[in-house]
């Protein structure tokens, strides 16, 4: 399959479009529930005490004694029981941390003794199930082949979270192997965790591969969550679940202790309900790790506090590039995009049309080759030192074949098999593909930014979520913004832009390496001027 088509069909990035009509979200605040505007047949308003809670708001509740880290953790655990395991059965949390309440108690003791580590002290966080935790939780990438695997130590970013005082609430389901198993995969499905649902309309995909993190944050099952991305897997589920997602510059955050796809494109990142929380979480995660050589490049480029970039008037005087391709076509997201462009101008930005997506199209095959080569190399290195019973990619393929009824009931593993057949990273084909995709994407983005003196390039993150289809897998195509930044290793932020028939769509902000701060400025200014986040109400499927 053509790599570009593969991404747009959602097997890795989770892109999806519908031909439904457009309905712009017109809420006055980020906390207005969808039921307020959903009309006849809408679900009952959600009265959860911590609905749409922010990190700052939760800190205030703990500071004034209204809540403790333990009481917050208990409320979120009850919420998971009520909505994820029962009720609409969102299926976004693959397991809860048996030590979560113990961690919360210890952090409450610290607070009582006068020690508050920072803005994440006592804040319950969910993390994706491809990120190691050196505790009683498993790390499986959603694969039955890794079931029972408990890492011996925390991933670097998990160490950062613990040091910041976060409560590790549990792990989220994902598209198995981060959606790098089959060209006909279904986003949000794993053989270990089953199918995650979109909390807005329950028969829709949450998009992949950080599907569980997207659904969990959107449904208020946690304060914030961590996802990972190779190409679209943070920003696409964030877009489809009405969230803010940050795919940082590759190298800003360590990847050690994370089950890999690509050494040149992988990164973890925040998934939150607002830009401020994303900025707080990004600062806590960033750091230099001797075990990840890529982080050596972030020397002097990490900001300990990214909230200093948040300025409600931050669009004034900025030059914003508008992706030309996203102004054309029949997608229901395009009218929302045009409205967003007008808002950018109203907030003082100068906008110019640019063309980045189309020039990057020819790089798609090379990107796919890069990922195939790097996946085999990375997975073999990860499994070689893991506690799992499988020690190589070949072992995973054999396990899936031997356990086909459970491991592959809907789609196969042709991507794993294609990767296994390749040579090592000394292959001239790999080296050529890496130059074409990585350097090519950087040249295209850099040229657009420098020639137009841009502060950011904006586009549609992805279209509204499609119906879950376990038989045919993800399908669809159309505007999407993930690949250029993913191939280049550049930062990408998505912010809620509106909705198409109740299904969220995000607006993307992209720029050059280590420009997370300036991107947060324009993303925050857009968010504050637009207020498009609406809490989900778990609507049943449409009936024709």
Q: Which CATH number fits domain 3-41+52-530: 1.10.3470.10, 3.30.1490.120, 3.90.1300.10, 3.40.50.450?
A: 3.90.1300.10
The share of the chain scoring above pLDDT 90, in percent, equals: 88
Please list the active-site residues.
128, 209, 233
How far is residue 241's CA from residue 246's CA, in Å, rounded to a whole number?
Answer: 14
Phi, then psi, of 25 in degrees rounded to 5: -80, 130
Q: How many residues does the chain have?
A: 544
Taking a C-beta distance cutoff of 8 angstroms, is the pair 365, 440 a contact? Answer: no
Tell me, what DSSP letter sits at residue 322?
A: E
Taking a C-beta distance cutoff of 8 angstroms, is the pair 160, 287 a contact? Answer: yes
pLDDT number for residue 44: 46
From the list 174, 143, 165, the residue with the least C-alpha distance to 281 is 165
pLDDT number for residue 64: 98
pLDDT number for residue 476: 61
How far is residue 234's CA from residue 179's CA, in Å, rounded to a whole number?
Answer: 12
Q: Calculate the alpha carbon distances from 524 to 425, 491, 496, 497 in Å.
A: 40, 15, 11, 12
pLDDT number for residue 370: 98
pLDDT number for residue 45: 54
Whole-model pTM?
A: 0.93
| Other C-beta atoms lying within 10 Å of the C-beta of residue 77 | 20
pLDDT number for residue 123: 99
> Which tokens belong to 415?
């991507």
How far is residue 137's CA from residue 158's CA, in Å, rounded to a whole number?
Answer: 13
Q: Which residues of the chain have pLDDT under 70?
A: 1-45, 476-478, 543-544
Reply yes or no: is the peptide bond before residue 209 cis, omega within 30 of 0: yes
pLDDT number for residue 478: 56
How far is residue 239's CA from residue 246's CA, in Å, rounded to a whole number?
Answer: 11
pLDDT number for residue 29: 33
How far is residue 121's CA from residue 112's CA, in Å, rounded to a whole number?
Answer: 12
> Which tokens belong to 45?
């308003």
Q: Given its phi and psi angles, is residue 4 left (phi above 0), alpha (psi -120 to 50 degrees) or beta?
A: alpha
| Other C-beta atoms lying within 10 Å of the C-beta of residue 366 | 22
């Amino acid at each position: 399959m053509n790599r570009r088509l593969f991404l747009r069909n959602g097997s890795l990035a989770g892109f999806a479009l519908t031909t439904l009509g457009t309905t712009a979200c017109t809420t006055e605040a980020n906390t207005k529930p969808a039921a307020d505007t959903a009309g006849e047949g809408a679900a009952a308003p959600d009265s959860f005490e911590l609905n749409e809670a922010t990190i700052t708001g939760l800190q205030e509740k703990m500071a004034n004694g209204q809540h403790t880290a333990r009481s917050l953790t208990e409320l979120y655990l009850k919420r998971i029981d009520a909505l994820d395991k029962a009720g609409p059965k969102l299926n976004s949390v693959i397991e809860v941390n048996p030590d979560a309440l113990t961690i919360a108690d210890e952090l409450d003791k610290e607070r009582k003794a006068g020690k508050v580590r920072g803005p994440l002290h006592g804040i319950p966080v969910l993390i994706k199930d491809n990120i190691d935790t050196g505790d009683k939780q498993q790390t499986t990438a959603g694969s039955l082949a890794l079931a029972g695997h408990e890492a011996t130590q925390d991933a670097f970013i998990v160490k950062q979270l613990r040091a910041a005082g976060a409560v590790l609430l549990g792990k989220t389901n994902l598209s198995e192997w981060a959606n790098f198993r089959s060209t006909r995969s279904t986003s949000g499905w794993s053989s270990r965790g089953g199918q995650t649902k979109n909390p807005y309309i329950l028969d829709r995909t949450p998009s992949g591969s950080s599907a569980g993190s997207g659904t969990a944050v959107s449904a208020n099952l946690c304060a914030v969550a961590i996802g990972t991305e190779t190409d679209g897997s943070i920003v696409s589920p964030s877009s489809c679940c009405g969230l803010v997602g940050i795919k940082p510059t590759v190298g800003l955050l360590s990847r050690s202790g994370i089950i890999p796809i690509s050494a040149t494109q992988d990164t973890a990142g925040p998934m939150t309900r607002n830009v401020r929380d994303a900025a707080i979480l990004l600062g806590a995660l960033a750091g230099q790790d001797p075990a990840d050589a890529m982080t050596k490049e972030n020397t002097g480029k990490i900001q300990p506090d990214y909230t200093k970039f948040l300025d409600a008037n931050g669009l004034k005087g900025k030059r914003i590039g508008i992706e030309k391709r996203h102004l054309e076509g029949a997608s229901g997201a395009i009218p929302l995009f045009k409205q967003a462009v007008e808002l950018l101008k109203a907030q003082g930005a100068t906008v110019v049309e640019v063309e980045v997506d189309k020039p990057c199209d020819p790089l798609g095959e090379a990107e796919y080759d890069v990922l195939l080569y790097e996946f085999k190399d990375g997975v073999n290195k990860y499994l070689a030192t893991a506690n799992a019973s499988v020690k190589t990619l070949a072992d995973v393929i054999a396990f899936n074949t031997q356990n086909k009824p459970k491991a592959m009931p809907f789609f196969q593993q042709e991507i794993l098999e294609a990767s296994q057949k390749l040579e090592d990273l000394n292959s001239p084909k790999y080296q050529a593909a890496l130059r074409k995709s990585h350097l090519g994407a950087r040249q295209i983005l850099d040229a657009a930014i420098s020639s137009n003196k841009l502060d950011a390039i904006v586009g549609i993150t992805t279209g509204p979520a499609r119906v879950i289809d376990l038989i045919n897998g993800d399908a669809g195509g159309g505007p999407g913004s993930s690949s250029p930044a993913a191939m280049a290793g550049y930062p990408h932020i998505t912010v809620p832009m509106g909705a198409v028939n109740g299904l969220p769509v995000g607006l993307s902000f992209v720029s050059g390496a280590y420009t997370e701060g300036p991107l947060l400025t324009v993303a925050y200014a857009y968010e504050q001027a637009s207020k498009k986040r609406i809490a989900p109400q778990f609507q049943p499927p449409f009936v024709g």
